Chains A and B, each alone.
Chain A
Amino acid sequence: MAWIIIIALAGAAIARPAANLFGKATGWVMSLIPLALFIMILRHAGDVADGGAVIATMSWVPSLGVDLTLRLDGFSMLFGLLITGIGTLVTVYAGAYFAEKPAADMGRFLALILLFMTAMLGTVLSDDLIVMFVFWELTSLTSFMLIGFDAHKAEARKAAIQSLLVTGGGGLVLFAGILLIGMTLGTFSFTEILARADELVASPWAGVIAVLIMIGAFTKSAQVPFHFWLPNAMAAPTPASAYLHSATMVKLGIYLLARFDAVFASAPAFGATLVVVGSLTMLVAALKALRAEGYKAVLAHSTVASLGILVMLIGLDGEVAAVATVGFILAHALYKAALFFCAGTAIHATGETSLRKLGGLARFLPVTAVAAVLASLSMAGLPPFVGFISKEYLFEAQLTNGWNVVPIVVAVLVNAVMCGVAGVVSIKPFYFKSHRVETVKHGETPGLLVGPLLLASGGIIIGLFPDGIGNLLIGPAASALYGSPIDVSFQLWHGLTPMLVLSALVVAIGVAIVVWWDFIHDHLRRHDRLFRLIGDGGYHWVVDGTLHIARSSTRVLQNGDQRRYTAIVVAVVVAGLAFALLAGPAGLYIAAPDGSLRASVAIVLFLSAAGAVATVLARSLIAALVSVGIVGFAVAVIFMLNGAPDLALTQIAVETLLVILLTAVLLRLPARQRHSRTVGERRRDVGLATAFGAVIFLAVASMSVIPLDMSLSDYFGQTSYLEGFGRNVVNVILVDYRAIDTLGEIAVVAFATLAVWALLRNTGPKTRTKE
């Protein structure tokens, strides 16, 4: 099974060169990779049919107990097939969509799409939560790059950052939840967590874990109050919107909640919260869908509403809810991706994004228009489409669940709005006479038609013959979700039931919405304040507030005065050391010197003191520099006299280097003789310097009282030659025992130097430009 992820990753790697090689046919060629993966996953269908799972394990980070365990059950197979199946169609579609663009653009886009597919497959296939989290974050990153694909547009950049902040921040919250689970149960394996669910729910951390996981899922699946990022993410090229922001990625939150619903089955508050949040999201999104103007925006808001329905369904208990969840995921992925494809073709053809300015496109895009109508009929929930079946199950799940009437009313209203949206997005741009488009820039090409046609006709075929897909896909997925095998009767006709009545009601209201769309739309546009409240105002408030705090704190802390920085650093060190000395257990000791002072050491110390005094008294910077140099070399000699030749050598080399670097700096400074510091400032500096010297003296003196623990030194001394083949213990420690520390240090040094090097780029005469 690991091959699935490896092949997907390889596809991402070769997409760019392939675009140069195959030109306009790249989409068709590259689509073979997701297609092959689709078949590979489908071949496991028999293994998971009875609610079983295929498991493959590799050791990854044994010291942390993280295993690369892949697990394919019915539910992950549903996702895997959606990811690779729609991935195939998206690749074909993107090939046609980018046909007139440079090959490099198409290559970059396909590489990102396939990388995203890898991340998605990894997320739904991994059993270990840490591994899943890594892939989860990778989906956020690729989503960020795809939303910001047209990086020259400010709007795209803003939307990309917004989505990254929301989903990435939510990812961190989720990570905290995963770590808490690991701490509580001592395992990250989901299979084991599920088996020990009672233990987890009984632990004191259960509530916190549930909330953290819910927040992680809500950010990803755009639930209230994190719903605002998804409509803005429509800045992405349309194939990406169809793939990431309707069919797959935004359903990851649903995936996670569905998985953890089984874990928290015995905690009723979990389900109740989901029902409330889902219903709120449905309402908010439905209102915003009625008000939206852009073609893709309307679809995006209705996607948020659909995600709300799914969250609510997960919150409900029972077999029917499980079937309804799975059925709705499938139905929604089919019709929404198809509608996004149609929207993309319409926008691509006209360059116009507003629904108000699109009309009569059926003359130019006849096949797309048919696909749009088919898909929207499924979305509207009309028989014999799969959307109808899934909606029947939705109402049945609600009615059998004993919830009060409010969520049912919400569900009816929201479904009616979706029905209305479906009518508007398919009929208005393609068939309405008003705002007729007279010319189109691009017509239909086969690549633009395969995706919408296959998906839309899939909706009707599954609706007419639901048995096959019910046994193959929905049954195993619902069983995996429910925890025990379910006998699914995924049927088109259920007889005259209350659900059918509700469906009829939905369609009636939906038709009314289509008829009075303009009226409702204009009416809603007047309520600016309400919509600002349920928009991304909160997000902007938080982001702007953070930036404001950063700005004002930077003004205080980083005023650009080097002397002030030095003063602050020295003062903090003095305060810290003084506190440690006074509060520490050792207290304040000053050791009387044991043994006699050697004459050689005394002479060097005297030299060093003389250098220090000379530095303070020096009138010019050069003189001060030389005097400091005396102190430095004297210290090196002291190291030498006390048996630390390595240290002494380094000290001498660094000291010389310092002189060379400072000389270069001094050569650039104006040769000023007099100090620019006031008397008061100089007094303060004297105080700080004296305090620093005193506290360091006290620290060194009291440190020498504490007996040294020699066990480490002895160990290194004894084993250095035997294990590291070196007699210089210092060097063996650096390159062998603690080599990973050294590697980290040289990496830090290299990157810090690189930053300084970049900053020094323009050291010539400054040409300041007003910004």
Chain B
Amino acid sequence: MQIIFPTMSRLFFILMIGVSLYMLFRGHNEPGGGFIGGLIAALGFALLAMAHDVGAARRALMVHPVALMGGGLLLSFVSGLPGLLSDQSFLTHWWLEIGSLHLGTATTFDIGVYCVVIGGVLCLVFRLYEGIEQ
């Protein structure tokens, strides 16, 4: 257990982050989206924290979870601003069409949600697991 879990957790972590990003970006057309993606990514980091220690998970996350949460909230808010310019209505999205692919401020809004969920979940998980001896 002490060997298998930490070793496998690295692999699972990478897989879960990949899946979470996939969920995030396909969310507009198929099941998924920022909220689910954020939860899956947060679980990946939590796995690291459980298998190694909170420090390893913090290093993998690179930014402080609270900062991530605030940044996500800001991103979601800012992605509503362009709508104010076009027809004076907050959160009316702008779209960019590249072939059949639609990218727009709705995508950045969802990325904001993704960040808020990861940051929110992890700042609690890290707090709770800190101080518990492995």
Cβ of B31 within 8 Å of any chain A Cβ, yes or no, is: yes
Contact status of A743 and B80, CB under 8 A, knowing A657-B39, A668-B132, A728-B28: yes
- Chain A residues with Cβ under 8 A from B31's Cβ? 645-646, 649, 728, 730
- Chain A residues with Cβ under 8 A from B43's Cβ? 653, 656-657, 660
Sorting the interface of chain B by its residue count into under 10, 10 to 19, 20 to 34 or 35 or more gives 35 or more
Specify which of A664, A725, A753 is in contact with B132 (CB 8 Å cutoff): A664
| Min CB gap A735→B, angstroms | 5
| Min CB gap B89→A, angstroms | 10
| Min CB gap A727→B, angstroms | 4
- Chain A residues with Cβ under 8 A from B112's Cβ? 746
Report how far A761 CA is from B123 CA in the complex, Å.
Answer: 11
- Chain A residues with Cβ under 8 A from B116's Cβ? 746, 749-750
Nearest opposing residue in chain B for A730, CB measure: B33
Contact indicator per residue, chain B 27-63, by CB within 8 Å of chain A (1) or not (0): 1111111111001101100100010000000000000
Contact indicator per residue, chain B 68-108, by CB within 8 Å of chain A (1) or not (0): 01101100110010000000001101010000001010100
Interface centre among B33, B73, B95 (most CB of A within 10 A): B33
Instruction: Evaluate contact between A746 and B124: CB separation under 8 angstroms.
Output: no
Cβ of B66 within 8 Å of any chain A Cβ, yes or no, is: yes
Cβ of B113 within 8 Å of any chain A Cβ, yes or no, is: yes
| Min CB gap A158→B, angstroms | 33
Contact status of A728 and B30, CB under 8 A, knowing A650-B36, A661-B125: yes
Cβ of A763 within 8 Å of any chain B Cβ, yes or no, is: yes
Specify which of A667, A731, A736 is in contact with B32 (CB 8 Å cutoff): A731
Nearest opposing residue in chain A for B65, CB measure: A757
Main secondary structure of the interface of B (DSSP, over half): helix
| Min CB gap A14→B, angstroms | 24
Sorting the interface of chain A by its residue count into under 10, 10 to 19, 20 to 34 or 35 or more gives 35 or more
Nearest opposing residue in chain A for B47, CB measure: A660
Cβ of B4 within 8 Å of any chain A Cβ, yes or no, is: no
- Chain B residues with Cβ under 8 A from A572's Cβ? none
Instruction: Evaluate contact between A763 and B39: CB separation under 8 angstroms.
Output: no
Cβ of A756 within 8 Å of any chain B Cβ, yes or no, is: yes
Instruction: Evaluate contact between B131 and A757: CB separation under 8 angstroms.
Output: no
Cβ of A724 within 8 Å of any chain B Cβ, yes or no, is: yes
Nearest opposing residue in chain A for B131, CB measure: A764
| Min CB gap B30→A, angstroms | 6
- Chain A residues with Cβ under 8 A from B36's Cβ? 646, 649-650, 653
| Min CB gap B96→A, angstroms | 10
Contact indicator per residue, chain A 727-744, by CB within 8 Å of chain B (1) or not (0): 110111011100110110
Instruction: Evaluate contact between B28 and A746: CB separation under 8 angstroms.
Output: no
Contact status of A754 and B128, CB under 8 A, knowing A653-B39, A735-B33, A746-B116: no
Report how far A747 CA is from B77 CA in the complex, Å.
Answer: 10
User: Given A664-B129, A727-B29, A753-B123, 11 other A-B contacts at CB below 8 A?
Assistant: A650-B36, A656-B43, A724-B93, A725-B102, A728-B30, A735-B93, A735-B110, A739-B91, A743-B80, A746-B117, A757-B66
Residue positions of A touching B, CB distance < 8 A? 645-646, 649-650, 653-654, 656-657, 660-661, 664-665, 667-668, 724-728, 730-732, 734-736, 739-740, 742-743, 746-747, 749-750, 753-754, 756-757, 760-761, 763-764
When A and B form their complex, which 3 residue pairs have the shortest distance between CB atoms, in order from nearest? A664-B128, A653-B39, A726-B28
A-B contact pairs, 19 of them (CB 8 A): A646-B36, A660-B50, A724-B93, A725-B106, A726-B28, A728-B29, A728-B32, A732-B28, A735-B109, A740-B90, A743-B77, A746-B113, A746-B116, A747-B73, A750-B120, A753-B124, A757-B123, A757-B127, A763-B131
